Chain A
């Protein structure tokens, strides 16, 4: 089961955006998987089953994280302090401006649109697999992906076109 550790960590990292949180979420995922291994239906995809647990764990942590962030921002306003920006190791790894913009655009999506995008483009899940993992209908996932696609295009389209023009040497 731990062969999927990197996969779960990657998923958690993409969703939570914090390596420490992701590491805790990955551990929690495997703990839950071990506690509920009797619920795994032998013969079905173990990866999908673990992904489902990981997504639920991340969702729960994300909500707590959001509540914490809200509290922190309130405290910051109250104390007139601004925390210094310290890029995470993940952010160090993402050097390119384009990647940074892409992450920003994805982060701006709400949870229900962000998760299918991450599963589709980061982890290569097909739409039926995403539907199974999130417990939604395939049609719902298609609809969310189309919406997310449109939003990403609105946010990134002009920038991507500019880069394309630079790459082709167009004026």
Chain B
């Protein structure tokens, strides 16, 4: 590597973690270069003085909530304005269509049953009359909000606006349009829709061709773009789902030292990598070469891995499982996967029971522990190190867990429980989904994915039959775009994917999410002219 002043000063100022080689080169250079030593000294002084010169202002949570409320109000205001503009546009479109229709009627009176054929020079006058007719009609439409004004007042408004005038006093050259039927005008439905929408339908879309996958069950999946990465026994497989009805196997990895139980897609700029658990090993693959899953590195953890979760932004991977030396005890580990081809173990922590599922919220990692006394444990995170674990929800077992925007969701028998994490070490029960007024889910939720106002679930009922359900919530979850989840279900671009270890005999399930049709528009007729 270059050891020029520029290169060394770039290393000093870069702010990124230097590699061992870079650090050694810099140390060596600084020993013999007074100019770069001065540069480094000034950089250190600036680093020390800037925080004091630009002090950070910490807003109280209440103040931030108030700001959030203001932002929300402005957002609503803009959306209302957008909707009003769209509404006005569609009204104008309808008005224009009506105008055109009327013009056509007047120009070609033969189309009108019983209407006399106009005299030859009728065209300019007809257009004038149509314009006269259309102007008050358009004014009326603008004044009327569909569904809010009764027909009588609509008619009165139309009369007051002088709709009848051109017809009542036709010029000698005007075609007679009295008693001509005025066509119905379709207006877009006002919000909110006054009737319930049809339910969302899941339709089996396609299957990976038999023989393409080697294992009976797929035990994990992660989606990136139009590719789903799945655990195929002791291998990682990449499947193209751009055409959900005909998924295609793209590549399969070499055999790993254990069954692939968890898969994560790690973003890395425009490219990405894939991390998988294989027994007690964590392996990272580079899928950038078509048809090839290149194994970059592996890291050996204290025991079989049951759960993996990615911290978005830092690309730290949290792993949980059972200790190899004592399977009644568990562990969590954190690894840095931010460097391409490198996996650095940062810390491990022993737990009193095996960890089955993990969730991350802010600076707290939640681990669902199994064993004789299942519970949810919270592990504070101090940078790259684990703090002391605390049991926060004793006697609470769960098959799947996710933390989203300060709420911890636990999949249990018949429902999903939501806990507020305002105090990370003291979760407070917030709600049960479905609520008490709705029918419970048919069995135990084994995996779920949260998206806006829906929860996509997969589970097993009491008879051992798999179920796949979408719970549509009356109140949206307000979860934004980041979903931290450790489940074996994924939703992407109108497709729901379920790893097939939930349904015996099947591997990867692919469903098309069929949205209900748009609400039927309200039909409002403008009043017939006398």
List A residues at the B interface (Cβ < 8 Å). 1-3, 5-6, 9-10, 13-14, 19, 23, 26-27, 30-31, 34-35, 37, 40-47, 90, 93-94, 96, 98-100, 102-103, 106, 118, 120-122, 124-129, 142, 145-146, 149, 152-153, 157, 160
Query: Is the pair B265, A43 in contact by a Cβ cutoff of 8 Å?
Result: yes
* Docked CA distance A37–B57 (Å): 26
Question: Which one of B8-16, B106-114, B438-446 contacts A?
Answer: B8-16
Are B58 and A6 touching (Cβ within 8 A)? yes
Within 8 A of A (CB), among B197-230: 224
| Contact partner, B54, options A10, A46, A153, Cβ 8 Å | A10
**Total A-B pairs in contact (CB under 8 Å)?**
121
Q: Interface residues of A: mostly helix, strand, loop or mixed?
A: helix
Given A102-B49, A126-B15, A149-B13 in contact, is the A94-B55 Cβ separation under 8 Å?
yes
B312 and A43 contacting across the interface, CB-CB below 8 Å: yes
Residue from A35, A41, A99 within 8 A of B53 (CB atoms): A99
- Chain B residues with CB under 8 Å of A102's CB are 46, 49-50, 53
With a CB–CB cut-off of 8 A, which chain A residues contact B267? 41, 43-44
**Interface residue range, chain B:** 35 or more
- A2 near B265: Cβ-Cβ < 8 Å: no
Identify the closest chain B residue to A127 (Cβ): B14
* B interface residues with partner A (beta carbon < 8 Å): 6, 9-10, 13-16, 39, 42-43, 45-47, 49-59, 64, 67-68, 70-71, 74-75, 78, 224, 265, 267, 272, 312-313, 362, 480-483
Cβ B45 vs Cβ A160 within 8 A: yes
Give the top 8 A-B pairs by smallest Cβ distance, nearest first: A43-B267, A126-B15, A121-B50, A99-B53, A126-B16, A102-B53, A45-B313, A122-B54
Contact A142 B13 (CB under 8 A): yes
Given A43-B265, A102-B53, check contact A1 B480 (CB 8 Å): yes
CB pair B70–A149 under 8 Å, yes or no, is no
Q: Given A43-B272, A47-B313, A160-B45, A120–B71 Cβ distance below 8 Å?
A: no
CA distance A121 to B55 in the complex (A): 12
Chain A residues with Cβ under 8 A from B67's Cβ? 2, 5, 23, 26-27, 30
- A46 and B313 contacting across the interface, CB-CB below 8 Å: yes
Most buried by B among A94, A121, A142: A121
| Chain A min CB distance to B274 (Å) | 12
Cross-chain pairs A/B with CB under 8 angstroms, 28 sampled: A1-B480, A2-B64, A2-B67, A2-B71, A5-B67, A5-B68, A6-B58, A19-B57, A30-B71, A34-B71, A35-B75, A35-B78, A42-B483, A43-B265, A45-B312, A46-B481, A46-B482, A98-B49, A98-B53, A99-B52, A102-B46, A121-B50, A122-B54, A142-B10, A145-B13, A149-B42, A149-B46, A157-B42
